[in-house]
Structure 1
């Protein structure tokens, strides 16, 4: 009953959601952000043309990212390096979408249900992979879903995650893990194989079989952010900062910088800090 749109990075998950939504709607607004010429921007344009959506883009600059970083971290309520990096494009995309719609569809959850992350390829036992996928889904609420919820609502936008519909989760749990992470004769596992096969008639082949990239990678945010953070965090004595927060795991100078911004954003930061969830470190 309210205007509805879809985030569209041009990756598999958001493209599936946008394509299916477009089939059900007379018109669909889609939204993409990144740096000029980034892979996500180019792929999203291709998908938008293919499905016939009303497409909107926003290209941000290094200075804009730096100017908004404290605000992003304030809304995110986390200093986790990976989460902050992916929250930056989410912030700008939510701001863009809020100008046109009230509800936004996202592709969250597909990686956890269908084995989309790179580290899953290191799990060679199918039973162990199934257990890890189930664990991943149970952790979504205070990592990726926290990012989506906080950054969309920061702009008065309601996020919806169709892949995490209960019926969808139940169905995905019945699919053998070897069909999610498909081992090939070449030795290169294909992540989300069964999901890709299911949508071969829905999207262009280069989108269906596009390699997985995180939101911050495909949008170009990582390339933009690295030199900015290196400069901004240069004045932090990492060891001294860690010593000041001995019960907090701070993995890098970048994370110390984000932690500092978070502490400065709240009158009682300890209330927020005790609830910060972390991405697990992988070998």
Structure 2
């Protein structure tokens, strides 16, 4: 996890503008560099580093003696960097996983380079020889990137939107259209003689469900005829490649299927790879939390060094404002689920030496894990909803995972969003991927049923959202929040909310409370999310699964 920042074509004091880079210091607490490019006095690159690989030579902007006119700043992990170096006969000068990006850009161009990367990334390349800027982001937007550009040629880029505030040439930041960079895209900008950047082309290099041959960790000819064996094999490979780290790796563990499977595979593979430290697992919840009980069962079964964090309702309520500031979102489900993850990450950073954390994000979208999938009218409709969720992940669950952990200088890794795993899974018959016998993610569960990785009661534990599982069954987390919001928001305010906030108008006091906090930090930027996350095929304004009929049964 790192933070990148850049401006191009500024006609203001670049040094003064560079202060904005410090708004993302939390993403890279280990080192910081800002560089004014001597070829372009009105351009600047900034980088906050979280050191994971090659502590000695991994500082950015990264430049090579071979290509001295190419500057690279990126936030991400390229899991196939050694394979690429071997296949394309690269002479590497560092152990940095991003170095092959420079070689590939120079020999194959920006789009072909991005297509060959197996990993998660958000990057900015400055090519001073050819006067170009190239931006790119991974398929699912696991690593964040924002940018804005003006018709006058001013381009600004940052890992988080907050680092772009204060850079506007307008007196009112509300007039500035800061946009999330689209996942799976590469943009090329031409730089004129004044250092101003103008968009030349925008290319989608990878779509959900597609996988270039360079990202095949397992060649198709080695697949088994048994679908379940392939599912288990590909998920294990996805976890294995994500153990690439010079820093300690741990697991966020809710006790649900997704995080438990990932933790079990991490423990199994750590022995195979010779990792000598005990794997730490981390769980958070309130008194009576169903997640805490389940996580303890998993940790005991796996023999991990388990950390159980007990949070109070008061701590959760107090953390909402800071959580929204880091999230840059007011989505109800996202905020609810992020508070626990934010506080858990705080504990990990303050109390342990774990820096890289594995998590189960993406599994519900890929494998139709949400309870509302039981209501899908057809297998095809369920497939289309799954793809839609995956394409929007960067605005919801992936955003939650990144910001909640990055707020405390941690790097999150999400094996369920591995390209080879997701493309194979989506290629399977749509009926095979639907809930079966009243159980969601039946295929995933049955793929590991006889492996002994997890206790049966965990492997087949019904789905429970993280924002629900951190609280007891007697009073859910969303009910605790709503009780507080009844005191903070008047009925009069709620009645006028639609006219005050016409985009995504809040319909509940909780939604209005979140929106007001968001607007205090990011006025006029409600367009960052197009809609509130809600279950499909269900007539409800309440996203909690605990209100759904299937959950109650």
- TM-score when normalising by structure 1: 0.92
> C-alpha offsets along residues 95-154 of structure 1, whole Å, 9 cap, x if unaligned?
122232111111011111111011211113112222221111111111110111111111
**Do structure 1's residue 222 and structure 2's residue 475 form an aligned pair?**
no
- Cα distance, 1:181 vs. partner? 2.2
Give the structure 1 partner of residue 396 of structure 2. Answer: 143
**1:148 and 1:236 mapped to 2: Cα distance?**
35
- Cα distance, 1:40 vs. partner? 0.3
**1:122 and 1:263 mapped to 2: Cα distance?**
35
- Greater shift after overlay, 198-207 or 150-159? 198-207
Give the structure 1 partner of residue 249 of structure 2. Answer: 4
**1:235 and 1:64 mapped to 2: Cα distance?**
26
Return 5+ residue gaps in structure 2 as ranges: 1-245, 271-275, 472-476, 539-553
**Do structure 1's residue 198 and structure 2's residue 440 form an aligned pair?**
no
RMSD: 1.7
Cα 1:182–1:65 change in 2 (3 A) is closer
- Structure with larger Rg: 2
Structure with bigger helix share is 1
**Do structure 1's residue 91 and structure 2's residue 357 form an aligned pair?**
no
- Cα distance, 1:167 vs. partner? 0.9
**1:162 and 1:237 mapped to 2: Cα distance?**
43
**Preserved CA contact (<8 Å) 1:34 1:60:** yes
Give the structure 1 partner of residue 499 of structure 2. Answer: 243
Give the structure 1 partner of residue 487 of structure 2. Answer: 231
- Cα distance, 1:246 vs. partner? 2.4
Give the structure 1 partner of residue 114 of structure 2. Answer: none
Matches within 5 A, 1:184-195: 184=437, 189-195=438-444
**Preserved CA contact (<8 Å) 1:31 1:96:** no
- Greater shift after overlay, 7-16 or 128-137? 128-137
Moved over 6 A (4+): none
Q: Which of the residues 134, 142, 148 maps onto 2:387?
A: 134
**Preserved CA contact (<8 Å) 1:236 1:253:** no
- Partner SS for 2:467: helix
Q: Which of the residues 61, 69, 80 maps onto 2:320?
A: 69
- Cα distance, 1:235 vs. partner? 6.7
Give the structure 1 partner of residue 173 of structure 2. Answer: none
**1:174 and 1:246 mapped to 2: Cα distance?**
40
**2:504 and 2:306 mapped to 1: Cα distance?**
42
Which structure has more relative contact order (CA 8 Å, sep 6+)? It is 1
Give the structure 1 partner of residue 307 of structure 2. Answer: 56
- Partner SS for 1:102: strand
Cα 1:20–1:256 change in 2 (3 A) is same
- Partner SS for 1:256: helix
Q: Which of the residues 354, 359, 382 maps onto 1:106?
A: 359
**2:488 and 2:394 mapped to 1: Cα distance?**
30
**2:492 and 2:265 mapped to 1: Cα distance?**
47
- TM-score when normalising by structure 2: 0.48
Cα 1:171–1:245 change in 2 (3 A) is same
Q: Which of the residues 13, 17, 35 maps onto 2:262?
A: 17
**1:61 and 1:37 mapped to 2: Cα distance?**
11
Give the structure 1 partner of residue 533 of structure 2. Answer: 279
**1:156 and 1:163 mapped to 2: Cα distance?**
22
- Greater shift after overlay, 205-214 or 95-104? 95-104
**1:52 and 1:222 mapped to 2: Cα distance?**
33
Give the structure 1 partner of residue 217 of structure 2. Answer: none
- Cα distance, 1:21 vs. partner? 0.2
Aligned residues: 276
Give the structure 2 partner of residue 116 of structure 1. Answer: 369
Give the structure 2 partner of residue 260 of structure 1. Answer: 516
**1:144 and 1:120 mapped to 2: Cα distance?**
17
**Do structure 1's residue 157 and structure 2's residue 157 form an aligned pair?**
no
